[in-house]
Structure 1
Amino acid sequence: MYRYVAAAIFIAIIAPIAFASNGTTTMPPPGATCLPFQSIPIFTNEIPNPESVLGFPIGAQEVTTAQLNEYLDVIDRHSARVVTGTAATSASEERLPLRYAIIGHEQNVTAEGLTRIRNATQQLIDPGITAKTAQELAANTPAILWVTGNVHGDEESGADAALRVVYELADRDDCVINHILDNAIIVVLPIQNPDGREANTRRNAYGFDMNRDWFARTQPETDGKLELLRQYPPVLYIDAHETSINHYFFPPYADPIYHEVPDRAFNWINTLYGASIAAEMDRQKIPFFNGAPYDLYAAEYGDTVPTIGFHAAGMTFEKYNGDDIESRTYQHFVTLWTSLFAAASNKERILQEWHDSYADAKAQGATGMLEANGIYYDAKELFQEVPNISVKHYFFLNEPGRSRELAQLIRRLQRMDVKVWQLKKSLAVPDFRAYGEDPGEITLPAGTYWIPMAQGQKHWIQAMLHENPYIPISVSYDVSAWSNPLLMNISGGSSGADFTPNAALVAPIEAPIPPGLPAGAPRIGLFEMPGSNTSIQSAGSIRYLFERVWGVPYVKVTDDDIRAGLQNIDVLLVPDGYVNYGLQALGSEGKKALAAWVEGGGRYIGYLAGTELAVSTGISTVILKSSHTSAPGTLIRIILDPTSPLAAGVDPTPESPSTLENPPTAWIMYSNDDRMTPGLGKAVATFPAESDPAFHTSGLAISVDELSNTAAIVDEQVGNGRVIVFSFDPNFRAWTEGTQRILWNALYAPNPSSLSVATASKVASAEARASAVDRADQAARELPKLGKAIRIVVRPMDADVTRAVIQRYGAEFKELQHPDRTIFLLENRKGLSWDDHPYLLNLAHDLRELVTPISFSAP
């Protein structure tokens, strides 16, 4: 398949046109024109105008969630073109609705009309229909176009602009409106994050950035939205955001582009919509930019998931957040309106190519073809090729010890319209490529799950089930790996062989039920370090896990509770945050009280900053050192000690239990985290050496060999208590079901047999412990105290230029030297993300104009 080079090709598609009343495009009579912003709008005034309902024109000030919902109801009552509904309710206790509107000609938005369009659309994306049927459907079926905004609650203007789109589509009667509605129905979801909008925060009530939640669907807002998308599959999906870069962004995207992005959708983004918007923005003299830092790589966003999962033109729009609401709303309206008009102008071609895209995907899957990597915008060279291998099938062993994770994986695939079968008889596979292993022969037993690639969803299957994402360049906007089987630590693999197994289609799987508490479960406390977005996000994901997934009780612990001795708490969990804020909150009294609680028999569990807090309070003797890796969100396999209670259930094959010679393994999400050595504790999970057969990675993994034989988890006896610390996040964004098992064991599994009443023979002497605590504390003091540092890695030859750019922004930073690269760590004590940060996006944009970073990562 061939993709146009995005930076090189632009075509103008907005041309003078006129339309017949039956919705077909006709040649315009002499002098007749219809252009989205140059034709005179004609309002019928059948809809109460915004000012009469809101008290102000749209764009004069930000609408509240309640005002927007009220006006949607008003439009629905007064217009036969509009129907409204609720896609989901929010995660907060208030359960705020996510309201949407569907706009079209009256006959298209009745219950019968919408059913007809949904049925025709499902036919259209069926690869098995004839070319003639596809052609007829493309000519007679309205395209489904989506407009969304406000997935980040503090990026408001996309919602206001979307509301204007609804109003104008509902009330105008002119050539532009007739043209759009003759060719499309439009689904508008103005506010994707009502909790965030109400609180003026980026994230939702659980602290989730829902523009990182798309494939996992952990949050109810995301889940409901995707179910609505399945009902109304888009050929265009717009996600309107705000940015700190001064000017407006729309695609083309910067490299990297994920290799399984469908070619036709990619070309629509660049040569249809990107070109149309550029022409209109130039005409109106609105400054804009394309490319860096926005890519189309990780399958987690509101552009990549619609593109890969629905073969749509998924597009992120970003408007400078420093402008007033009038400017922000209007410029978003320009890009939204231009895109809708461009889609309507090319509806029949788009729908025909949409069908062809699904048909091509199935044909690729049947031959085992993976799409190749490429460079399309500003990258200089390809970092990683897609290997020349055939992938025709994926298989997953139906292991009793993995029933929960398997149910989650199969359900996740099914709910993106992937068909999954189970083998009815055993199957000999000559070239089985198990995850993290060399290819070999295997006989898969009956009951094994089988996902053939010969489906219209081939691109999505590969995006979810791959072993390696084959990143095209070594810079990614966010994580570089997200393979679902690895995140879930499920045994499986792929094959390129030709066979048709004897198998039965798997019926839709229900969501797994909570696992149930063990007898005599301990009382759990959760301590959230104050003062940073990192702690909000990390503790929020734990609250979500406890409340919505596991159904376990817990108590929110304050620093006052710790100083008071943690009464009635058996286990204290301390997730990520900024350690200095945690230490300041505890003070010397709190640190002493925490140590006394542990020594008296308490169990402390910490990860990342929670690990550093344990060291700084003297309850852990692990040694922490900064890493020199370039691995922003990389999956790495670790080895667990089979004798540790933390490894219980991690081995998925209880009929062949792990031994010291054949230990259990798990995949963790590693994000340039600190290296850890045990001190007086026991390393119950370690990173294998690069030469070890267990060593394996997925994603960008530059210099991860320096982790060899370092500790991933340390279990340490402290007096009558126990301290368990992780060098990584075992509940990363609630994605990592595999390491959630280990976290469960840390909370609920019994103590190791060696831990009983402390005696001199079982614990280090007071002098030895004091010395170990001092060594650990000294190492922790040498760590850069920069919070969730922004990490820029460049070649030594680019270090001077990079330093100058960083200094231009007045950033506090530290440098780590390595023979092959220089690592700049920028202060980020508040844990701000790309879009929260006041200048990070500008810095990234400026830097990529001057050098090619090895990697550039932020929270």
Structure 2
Amino acid sequence: MRRRWLVILLTAALVLGQGILPVGTVSTDHLGLVEAAATSQPTVTSADSYGVASQQGPYWKTDSTIQDRTTKPYPSFVRYSEIGAILRDIDKRSPRVKVEVIGQSALGHDLYLVIVSDPSVHGRYGRYQALRNTMLRDPAKAQEMIKQGADFKVPIFINGSIHGNEEPGTDAALRLIETLAFDNSDEVREILDNTILLFNVNANPDGRIVNARGNGNGFDLNRDLITLSQPETRALVAQIVQWKPMIFLDLHGFVDPLLIEPCTPPHNPNYEYDLFIKWALDMATAMGDRIKDRVGLDYQIPYRDQEAGWDDYLPILTPMYAMYHGSIAVTVETKERSETGVEAHYQSVMAAALFAARHKMEMFHDQIEQFKRGVLGDKPEQYPYAYVLPAGPDQAHPNVVADVVEALLVHGIEVHEAKQPFTAGGTTYPAGSYVVLMNQPLRGLANTLLWEGEDISYDIPAMYDISAWQLPELWGFKRVAIEEPFSAQLVQVQKVKRPQGSVQNANAAYYVIPNDNNNAIRAVNALLERGAEVWMAQGSLPGFGQGAFVVRADGQRQAVKDLAKDLGLTITGTNSVGGSLKPLRRLRVAALGQGYALGRGYVDFTLRELGFDVTPVTVSDVASGRLADFDVFVNQVNSSNSAFQQAIRDFVAQGGAYIGIGADSAALNQRLGLLPVVYNAGKRDDNGVVRVVNNTEHPVMANYPANDYSFVYYPAWFTSTGDGVEVISRLQAENFFMAGHWRDRKDAAGSAVVVGGTYGNGRVVLFGTDPLFRAHTRGLFRSVANALFYAAQD
């Protein structure tokens, strides 16, 4: 169902670009965000720069190596392995069509972008590019150009089947491409005379092949458009950045009666919602009426027909994200998996394209108006003047700050760097601080990523999905909102300078790696894989903070030097190390998480990205004794399977480490009796950013601040802790809830949310929070890595 996606930006609602691959070349960090962004403006980057190898290859050939579905859910269903040949045939026969491979899926399957336009458009990209640049840099001038009759066509983006088991979207896209490629009806001519259509034909090949919602990494791709952890969403984002469509249609299933957005409240206050709803409701009505007339299906529009429950508050869903770029963006949920379902999608896109063709002047004017409002800085009471990411010792590790700035650039947000110290809001900030001015075209998106969010618990009975995603709190960096104008010598950032790693005192007997960013965990795992001797400090190591890692230099000098350079780490040599040190070893980790495809999910994915040796397992695997092959079991699920339960007890009693995450794991602990704790849990849709107090002396919270933030989704808290249980983190006693939707939370105040202890010969750590949530909570990843190192046997 619905589960949308989002997109990214760079330009505006018209056709642009020299060709269809985005410009710019950058590399990726270990979780897939760009390492260096942009070329001329803060442009963004090609699919390659997100770790997607945009291989052109013989995409027109049928790939006989794919183990595709053997049965068809309806006669016109096209197997993924057949799509390339079909598109190549159309490409050869129609001058209206261009086909590109824009990247590969998690499992290496090609992602096809098809552009359909009047053939005369192909030679006009330069003119469109100039108008696009004007739209962002001088939107008032762009509006005047449109008023004076500038020649332009508006792009419409159709996103097919981002959920692999919602098949009709892709089949409708293929049918639409064929119609637009060859038909000369009045409707088709009207569409091609006024628009350019872009089809992300099959947004999730992995899921289509195996009939699964998620991709090959087990991710719901329609939740990844802010995080961009997956290659499919990075490829999509790169195209949205390039084209900035005026209309965005996300084809899903299945809802009865058929559903077409716009949505119910609450509407995120960072939208220019008046400009959106002015067109979205009429367009949805036109789409629904055509479906009813030509297909015979009734339809619903949540904005018109419901009070709550289908909201557009969060930016992680595709249409909602596109709204920040001026798109009139909607999800279409077809009624059923059938020929009728395909036909409904087909007619919905035709109706939207005709609507755009007939209203393009006014709609394009209003898309530019959104950027104009940002540039002029209206609504000063809603937005700060700027956000400052201060340089200096109080800021997060330089790797974290670089990741943040890169992410902002990828999303098309303008970022500046201070070349001299400056004073703002009564505080002086050093040179090298980053500044995000809010008088910019994408101020709404900038604000939704950097603000503190809202507690909307009592504004609406329930939310569709998460209601908080704040980067500063969840990625772990400091930002300051500045309300009043200030003067500073600023230079716009075009490419982020990654931290230059180094090894100091390189000839020493030992090296110390501070435990202060995710790359430190990656470095340690890489060294352990090489067979290096590594220890973790069980307290503070003077000069290096809590939980620092110590490496014996013998045989590892070049490896340490390379890792420091590649990962932006400052590693220091020393000839003597004091204090309590725990020897580490390469851990074999079993993970059982919330996956959507192929038995994988965000738990094993994120741990693998940190360099751990992770194997996804099932309840049946555990019940059959497979935990004997592992050192640590990370678990997110509850099960009544008695063999599963006994296998975990035996594993931990014999010295295995158990890391439980979330309320389901807390419930399982109640059954297993691993730790003598009593827990309580919220509702499954309770979520948000919470304020916590960490036990900074405990290895799990090494180098985390005492007063910090965490994230909950279906939260658990521990109301009673028995003998031998250590409280590692607890919710603040007062005002612990920062942003999100969690109503009945009063009793959780001050309660433990992370606890640890022993069972038999093994150690146990239980998180009532979700520190790996959808690979988004990057600032919390280290706490889980620390828990693995702490709980595993020496």
Say whether the fold is shared (TM-score over 0.5).
yes
Give 1:116 shift: 4.2
| Structure 2 residue aligned with 1:642 | 696
User: Residues 595 and 602 of structure 2 are in contact (CA less than 8 Å); yes or no, is this contact kept in structure 1?
Assistant: no
User: Residues 659 and 766 of structure 2 are in contact (CA less than 8 Å); yes or no, is this contact kept in structure 1?
Assistant: yes
| Structure 2 residue aligned with 1:250 | 260
Between the aligned partners of 1:638 and 1:669, the Cα distance in structure 2 is 11
Between the aligned partners of 1:229 and 1:137, the Cα distance in structure 2 is 27
The change in CA–CA distance for 1:510 and 1:182 in structure 2 (over 3 A counts) is farther
| Structure 2 residue aligned with 1:624 | 679
The change in CA–CA distance for 1:501 and 1:263 in structure 2 (over 3 A counts) is same
Between the aligned partners of 2:489 and 2:756, the Cα distance in structure 1 is 47
Map of 1:698-709 to 2, 5 A cutoff? 698-709=739-750
| Structure 2 residue aligned with 1:64 | 79
| Structure 2 residue aligned with 1:597 | 654
The change in CA–CA distance for 1:611 and 1:287 in structure 2 (over 3 A counts) is same
User: Residues 91 and 206 of structure 1 are in contact (CA less than 8 Å); yes or no, is this contact kept in structure 2?
Assistant: yes
| Structure 2 residue aligned with 1:516 | 523
Between the aligned partners of 1:184 and 1:58, the Cα distance in structure 2 is 33
What do the CA deviations read for 1:224-275 (whole angstroms, capped 9, x no partner)?
A: 11001111110000001002x3221112322222122223542354343123
Matched, 1:159 2:200: no
Between the aligned partners of 1:130 and 1:565, the Cα distance in structure 2 is 66
What do the CA deviations read for 1:646-698 (whole angstroms, capped 9, x no partner)?
A: 222323xxxxxxxxxxx24232234343545432311010011126xxx3411
Question: Could you tell me the TM-score, scaled by structure 2's length?
Answer: 0.74
Between the aligned partners of 2:744 and 2:289, the Cα distance in structure 1 is 44
User: What amino acid is aligned across from residue 472 of structure 2 in structure 1?
Assistant: P
User: Residues 396 and 491 of structure 1 are in contact (CA less than 8 Å); yes or no, is this contact kept in structure 2?
Assistant: yes
Q: Secondary structure at the match of 1:255?
A: coil
Matched, 1:330 2:348: no
| Structure 2 residue aligned with 1:236 | 247
Q: Secondary structure at the match of 1:347?
A: helix
User: Residues 135 and 141 of structure 2 are in contact (CA less than 8 Å); yes or no, is this contact kept in structure 1?
Assistant: no
| Structure 2 residue aligned with 1:107 | 120
User: What amino acid is aligned across from residue 216 of structure 1 in structure 2?
Assistant: T
Question: Could you tell me the TM-score, scaled by structure 1's length?
Answer: 0.69
Worse-matched range after superposition: 512-521 or 676-685: 512-521
Between the aligned partners of 1:427 and 1:611, the Cα distance in structure 2 is 49
The change in CA–CA distance for 1:744 and 1:536 in structure 2 (over 3 A counts) is farther
What do the CA deviations read for 1:194-242 (whole angstroms, capped 9, x no partner)?
A: 1001110111111111111111111100011100111111000000100
| Structure 2 residue aligned with 1:667 | 710
| Structure 2 residue aligned with 1:124 | 135
| Structure 2 residue aligned with 1:345 | 358
The change in CA–CA distance for 1:673 and 1:80 in structure 2 (over 3 A counts) is same
Worse-matched range after superposition: 666-675 or 490-499: 666-675
Between the aligned partners of 2:696 and 2:220, the Cα distance in structure 1 is 36
| Structure 2 residue aligned with 1:729 | 770
The change in CA–CA distance for 1:536 and 1:618 in structure 2 (over 3 A counts) is farther
Map of 1:446-525 to 2, 5 A cutoff? 446-469=431-454, 471=456, 473-509=460-496, 514=519, 515-517=522-524, 519-520=533-534, 521-525=584-588
Matched, 1:306 2:322: yes
What do the CA deviations read for 1:344-402 (whole angstroms, capped 9, x no partner)?
A: 1111222222212210122236x6342xxxxxxxxxxxxxxxxxxx5111122335643
| Structure 2 residue aligned with 1:368 | 380
| Structure 2 residue aligned with 1:270 | 280
User: What amino acid is aligned across from residue 431 of structure 2 in structure 1?
Assistant: A
Matched, 1:689 2:699: no
Between the aligned partners of 1:705 and 1:57, the Cα distance in structure 2 is 51
Between the aligned partners of 2:301 and 2:755, the Cα distance in structure 1 is 46
Between the aligned partners of 2:332 and 2:626, the Cα distance in structure 1 is 50
The structure, 1 or 2, with the larger RCO (C-alpha pairs under 8 Å, 6+ apart) is 2
Between the aligned partners of 1:560 and 1:355, the Cα distance in structure 2 is 55
| Structure 2 residue aligned with 1:40 | none
Matched, 1:397 2:390: yes
Between the aligned partners of 1:612 and 1:337, the Cα distance in structure 2 is 50
Matched, 1:715 2:700: no
Between the aligned partners of 1:426 and 1:128, the Cα distance in structure 2 is 32
The change in CA–CA distance for 1:638 and 1:592 in structure 2 (over 3 A counts) is closer
Matched, 1:409 2:416: no
User: What amino acid is aligned across from residue 108 of structure 1 in structure 2?
Assistant: V
Give 1:556 shift: 4.5
Between the aligned partners of 1:565 and 1:289, the Cα distance in structure 2 is 49
The change in CA–CA distance for 1:487 and 1:534 in structure 2 (over 3 A counts) is same
Give 1:579 shift: 2.7
Give 1:428 shift: 2.9
Between the aligned partners of 2:485 and 2:598, the Cα distance in structure 1 is 46
What do the CA deviations read for 1:589-611 (whole angstroms, capped 9, x no partner)?
A: x244223323xxx3321112334
Map of 1:216-227 to 2, 5 A cutoff? 216-227=227-238
| Structure 1 residue aligned with 2:271 | 261
Q: Secondary structure at the match of 2:613?
A: coil
RMSD, aligned CA: 3.0
User: Residues 681 and 716 of structure 2 are in contact (CA less than 8 Å); yes or no, is this contact kept in structure 1?
Assistant: yes
Between the aligned partners of 1:477 and 1:148, the Cα distance in structure 2 is 21
Task: Point out where structure 1 has 5 or more consecutive residues left out of the alignment.
Answer: 1-47, 49-55, 371-389, 431-440, 652-662, 757-859
Give 1:533 shift: 5.5
User: Residues 625 and 674 of structure 1 are in contact (CA less than 8 Å); yes or no, is this contact kept in structure 2?
Assistant: yes
The change in CA–CA distance for 1:412 and 1:183 in structure 2 (over 3 A counts) is same
The change in CA–CA distance for 1:126 and 1:474 in structure 2 (over 3 A counts) is farther
Q: Secondary structure at the match of 1:158?
A: helix
Q: Aligned pair count?
A: 636
User: Residues 603 and 722 of structure 1 are in contact (CA less than 8 Å); yes or no, is this contact kept in structure 2?
Assistant: yes
Between the aligned partners of 2:629 and 2:74, the Cα distance in structure 1 is 53
Map of 1:133-172 to 2, 5 A cutoff? 134-135=145-146, 139-172=150-183
Worse-matched range after superposition: 474-483 or 462-471: 462-471
What do the CA deviations read for 1:681-727 (whole angstroms, capped 9, x no partner)?
A: 11010011126xxx341122323231122111112134543211111
User: Residues 628 and 651 of structure 2 are in contact (CA less than 8 Å); yes or no, is this contact kept in structure 1?
Assistant: no
Worse-matched range after superposition: 267-276 or 295-304: 267-276
